[in-house]
Structure 1
Amino acid sequence: MKALVTGAYGFIGRHVARRLAETGYRVAGVGHGVWALGEWRRWGLEAWHGVDVTLDTLATYGGEPDVIIHCAGSGSVAYSMSHPRQDFERSVLTTLAVLEYQRLYVPAARLVVPSSAGVYGLAETLPIRVDAPRNPVSPYGTNKVIVEDMARSYARHFSLNVAAVRLFSIYGIGLRKQLLWDASLKFSRGEIDFAGTGEETRDWLHVEDAARLIGAAAQAAGRHCPVFNGGTGVATSNRTVLEILARALRPGLLPRFSGQARPGDPQHYQADIASTRDLAWSPSRDLPTEVAAYAEWYARGAE
C-alpha cells in the first residue's frame, strides 16, 4: 500500500507520515521545506519532493497512492488576519489541487483533509458536535469551511472517497509555534504577560493521537465525506496549561493576563468525540505529563 502526504515537512504532516509507515505504507511526501535525506527518512518517508502543492506537481511526483493525507496549508489564525490572501491560497487552492489530482489520476484513493475546530467559531453549546453550526470568526476558519465544502462536493459529484477531521488544539514536542512555544520563550526570559483572561478553554490533542486519528479516518473515507472531531472531549483553561508549563520551566513564575481577547480567538472549545470513537480510536496522552515533557524538550534546547 502506498500513501502520499502533502505538507509532510510540517509538524502534523511528519507525524502522519511516520504513523503511516509504521502501519505498513510506503510513504511519499510533497510540499515546502528543506531537510536532509536522513531526516525525512527518519520520519518514515521513502521519497520527498520539495515543491509547491499544485496539480502539475502532484501529477509529476504523487504516483498512484492508495491513501492521500493533505496536511499542506495554513495553520495560523493570526496569519490569516494579517495575510488573508496568502492564507486562502495555502488552504483553499492547495486543497483544490489535491481534489483535482484525486479526480483525474487516482479516483480510487482515500483522501483525508485535516480541517479545524476554527470552523465552529463562537460555539453556542459545549461540547461541540460535528453537526453544530459552522460560524467562523477568522479568515482561517472561513477558509477551512470552504475546504470542507469543496471536499464534500468532489466526493459527492465525482464519487470520491474523502473524509475530513476537524483538529482542535494540536500540541507536542517539536512544535515551534502557537501557545506552548510562545509561552516557553516568554517564561525563559522571565516574562509573564499574556493576552486574554486565562479562562479561555481549549481541547488539547497530542500530535501522535492526531496522527492515529487521521489514519483511522482514511479507512472511513467515502462518498458522503464523513467529518470527525479531532479532540479529547476535555476542555482545559489556558491558565491551567500555562501554569503547568511555568512550573516546569521557571518555578515561581505565574502567568498574568491582560483581560483583552485577541481578534479571531473564540472563548471556548471542547469537542464532542462520540462519533470519532466509532473509528475504534481514543486519545491516549495525558495533558499535564505531555506539557511537562514539552517544557523539558524546550529546556534542552528544543533539539
Structure 2
Amino acid sequence: MRVIIIGSKGFIGQNLVKYFQEKNYDVWKADVVVDYADVDRYFLIDASTSDFNTVFHYQKYDLCINCSGAASVPDSLNNPMRDYYLNSVNVFKILSAINQFQPECKFINLGSAAVYGNPEELPITELAKRSPLSPYGFHKLQAEQICEEFYSFFKLQTCSLRIFSVYGAGLQKQLFWDLNKKTKTGEPIILYGTGEESRDFIHVSDLAKATELVAQSDFFKADVVNVANGEEVKIKDAVAIFFNNYPNNINYSFSGDSRKGDPLNWKADIQRLASLGYTASIKMVDGLKDYYDWVRRE
C-alpha cells in the first residue's frame, strides 16, 4: 500500500512515518518544513498557498493521512484565523486535490476529541453531542463536516479520527512537557485546575497502530472513530505517575483555576476501535518513564 502522510515533520506525523515504514508500506511525506537531507519521497508544501495539487498530480496513493494543522487550544483563542486555515481550509484543499486527481485514494483526517467539549455523560460515544469549547474544537468539527461533504457529494472515501490525549517521546508541548519545564525554574510548581479533571491518554505508538487498523477497515463513509484507550485518568494521578520518575521529591499544588477552552472530564467509548482488534500495548507508567528518559536527554 502506498501512503502519503501530510504533516510528516510534526510529532504524530514523524511517528506515523516510522510506524508505516517499519510495516513495509510505501511511505511518501509532505510538510512545510525545508529539510535538505530528507528529499526522498518528500513534498515541500508552500505554507503561503498550501497548494496540494503537486502532491496528488504525479503520484498515485492508496491512502492519505492528514496530520497537519494547528494543535493548540490557547493559540486558537489568540489566533483563530490561523487555526481556521490550518485545521479547516487546508483539509478542504487536500480533499479538492484528491477529488481532482485521484478520487480513489482513501483519506484519514486526524481530528480531535475537542469537538465534544464537556460531555453530558461518560464514556463519550461517537454519537455524543458536539459542543466545542474553543476555536480549535470548532475548526476540527468543521474538518469533519468537510470530510462528510466530499463523501456525500463526490463519493470520496473519508474518515475522521477523534483523538483524545496523545503523548510520547518527542512531544514538546502539553502537560508532561510543561511539568518537566516547571521542575527547572526553581519556582513553586502551581498547576491549573483542581487535579480532579480527567483525560483519556493514549501513547503515540498505540495511536499509530490504531490508525493502521482504521486504514484497513471499511470506516470510510465519512465515519468518525474515537482514538483513545477507554480509560479515565485524573490529572493529579497522571502528574504523580510522571513525577515519580524523578530522583527527588517534587512539590506541587493545584490553583483551582480552570483554563479557558479546557474540558473537565474525558473518557472515550472505544467500541468502534476495539471492533477492529485494537488493544493498548503501552501502559501509562511505562510510557511516562520513556517520556521522562527522553526529556532528561533533551
1:25-81: CA deviation from partner (whole Å, max 9, x where unpaired): 2111111224452xx58xxxx422232369874221342111100111011111101
Q: Residue 44 of structure 2 corresponds to which residue in structure 1? A: 50
| Match in the other structure for 1:268 | 265
- The aligned residue for residue 228 of structure 1 is 225
Q: Tell me, yes or no, if the aligned pair for 1:115 and 1:164 is still in contact at 8 Å.
A: yes
Of 208, 213, 222, which residue of structure 2 is paired with 1:211? 208
SS in 2 for 1:20: helix
Q: Name which of 39, 48, 53 aligns with 1:59.
A: 53
Deviation at 1:254, TM superposition (A): 2.9
Q: Percent identity?
A: 31
Opposite residue 146 of structure 2, the aligned amino acid is M
- Which amino acid is the alignment partner of residue 10 of structure 1? G
8 Å CA contact 2:20–2:27 kept in 1: the answer is yes
Cα offset for 1:234? 0.4
Amino acid at match of 2:24: G
Partner of 2:182: 186
Q: Is the 8 A contact 1:204 1:236 kept in 2?
A: yes
The 5 Å alignment of 1:287-298 reads 287-298=284-295
The residue identity in structure 2 corresponding to 1:200 is E
Q: In the alignment, residue 255 of structure 1 is paired with which amino acid?
A: Y
Shift of 1:153: 1.3
1:174 equivalent among 170, 193, 205: 170
Preserved CA contact (<8 Å) 2:164 2:227: yes
Which residues in structure 2 correspond to 1:91-240 (within 5 Å)?
91-191=87-187, 192-221=189-218, 224-240=221-237
| 8 Å Cα contact 1:71/1:114 also seen in 2 | yes
Q: Which amino acid aligns with 2:27?
A: V
Q: Secondary structure at the residue paired with 2:271?
A: coil
Aligned with residue 77 of structure 1, among 73, 80, 102: 73
1:138-163 Cα offsets, whole Å, 9 max, x none, are: 00000011000110111121111111
Per the alignment, do residues 4 and 32 of structure 1 end up closer, same or farther by CA in structure 2, a change over 3 Å counting?
same
The answer to whether the 8 A contact 1:58-1:98 is kept is yes
Residue 222 to residue 228, structure 1, CA distance change in 2 (3 Å): closer
Rounded Cα–Cα distance in structure 1 between residues aligned with 2:207 and 2:108: 12
Residue 223 of structure 1 and its aligned partner are, at CA, apart by: 5.2
1:112 and 1:164 in contact (8 A); partners too: yes
Alpha-carbon distance in 2 for matches of 1:148, 1:218: 17
CA contact (8 A) 2:4 2:61 kept: yes
TM-score of the two chains, using structure 1 as the length reference:
0.92
C-alpha change, 1:275 and 1:30, in structure 2 (3 Å) is same
The match for 2:12 is 12
Distance 1:180 1:133, change over 3 A: same
Partner amino acid, structure 1, of 2:116: Y
Distance 1:20 1:156 in 2: 29
Q: Could you tell me which amino acid in structure 1 is paired with residue 172 of structure 2? A: R
Q: Could you tell me which residue of structure 1 aligns to residue 22 of structure 2?
A: 22
1:89 aligns with 2:85: yes
Q: Would the alpha carbon gap of residues 4 and 166 (structure 1) be closer, same or farther in structure 2, given more than 3 Å must change?
A: same
Query: Kindly tell me: are residues 64 and 130 of structure 1, through their superposed partners in 2, closer, same or farther at Cα, counting changes over 3 Å?
Result: same
Distance 2:76 2:256 in 1: 23
Return the alpha-carbon distance in structure 1 between the equivalents of residues 95 and 291 of structure 2: 35
**C-alpha distance in 2 between matches for 1:164 and 1:214:** 10
Q: Structure 1: how far apart are the matches of 2:147 and 2:171?
A: 27
Q: Is the 8 A contact 2:7 2:31 kept in 1?
A: yes
Tell me if the contact between 2:51 and 2:93 (Cα under 8 Å) persists in the aligned partners. no
| Unpaired runs of at least 5, structure 2 | none
Q: Which runs of 5+ in 1 are unaligned?
A: none
